[in-house]
Amino acid sequence: MPDNIYETSDQLVPRHAKEQRLKQRGMVVWLYRLSGSGKTSLAAALEHRLHDQGCQTVVLDGDIIRSGLNKGMGFSVEDRMENIRRAAEVAKLFAGTGFVTICSFITPAIAMRSLARDIIGNPDFLEIYVACSFEECARRDVKGLYAKVEDGKVAQFTGKDSLFEPPVAADMTIDTETESFDESQARLHTTVLERIALK
């Protein structure tokens, strides 16, 4: 740590006290895969279900982060890595206050997911692979991106021009191509509830 930066966390309300107040354990739910896989829809559904149960949540979505905190960043490997690093640092801060922090990022490389896990810390990190083929994501094309890719209007597109590395061992896999959305969100909700329960 640089000499001109001083640690002040010992002066603040401790994490366990915040979690006791909220009656939940803070954590980060990290959903990732291609655009159109369903990760943003799952994030929104999870937030609504937890909110209805009185849980405190925050959602960090890739498009929102890139339009604000990471505005102007490109899609090179270096920029993608920095995008994830910043998002993970923000997620860590929220989790440390007891919030269930739901992240939705493409996060194409194993190294990027490892970076997020290292920053946030393994006990607080729930890695959710939203499995869905490139072809199915293109068929859905909820944002019109795949049509632009076909027209040559989008460069460095993940899954086509830019590599997506499948996970070696995600904490959970949700296959939105083979199971219904209701099944997917129910499984995710149950898993998260188990993780945020105070012991």
Residue 148 maps to a domain: yes
Instruction: Tell me which residue range forms the domain holding 181.
Output: 13-196
With a cut of 60, say whether residue 61 has pLDDT above it.
Answer: yes
Residue 102 maps to a domain: yes
pLDDT tens, position by position, 19-39: 999 999 999 999 999 999 999
- % pLDDT > 90, the chain: 78
Which of 33, 62, 39, 37 is CA-nearest to residue 137? 37
Please name the residues in contact with 45: beta carbons below 8 A apart, sequence gap of 6 or more. 181, 185, 188, 189
CA 16 to centroid of chain Cα atoms:
23
With a cut of 90, say whether residue 57 has pLDDT above it.
Answer: yes
Say how many domains are in the chain: 1
Residue 2 maps to a domain: no
Report yes or no: 87 and 103 within 8 Å, Cβ to Cβ: yes
With a cut of 80, say whether residue 150 has pLDDT above it.
Answer: no
Residue 157 maps to a domain: yes
pLDDT tens, position by position, 153-177: 777 777 776 789 999 889 999 999 9
Please name the residues in contact with 142: beta carbons below 8 A apart, sequence gap of 6 or more. 35, 36
Residue 153 maps to a domain: yes
Residue 44 maps to a domain: yes
Residues 109-133 as b/e (b if ≥16 CB within 10 A, e otherwise) read: beebbebbbebbeeebbbbbbbbbe
User: What are the distances in angstroms from CA 34 to CA 7, 109, 117?
Assistant: 38, 12, 19
Report yes or no: 151 and 159 within 8 Å, Cβ to Cβ: no
pLDDT confidence of residue 112: 97
Please name the residues in contact with 96: beta carbons below 8 A apart, sequence gap of 6 or more. 15, 26
Residue 114 maps to a domain: yes
Residue 155 maps to a domain: yes
pTM: 0.91
Q: What's the CATH number where 177 sits? A: 3.40.50.300
pLDDT tens, position by position, 98-110: 999 999 999 999 9
Residue 50 pLDDT grade (very low, low, confident, very high; cuts 50, 70, 90):
very high
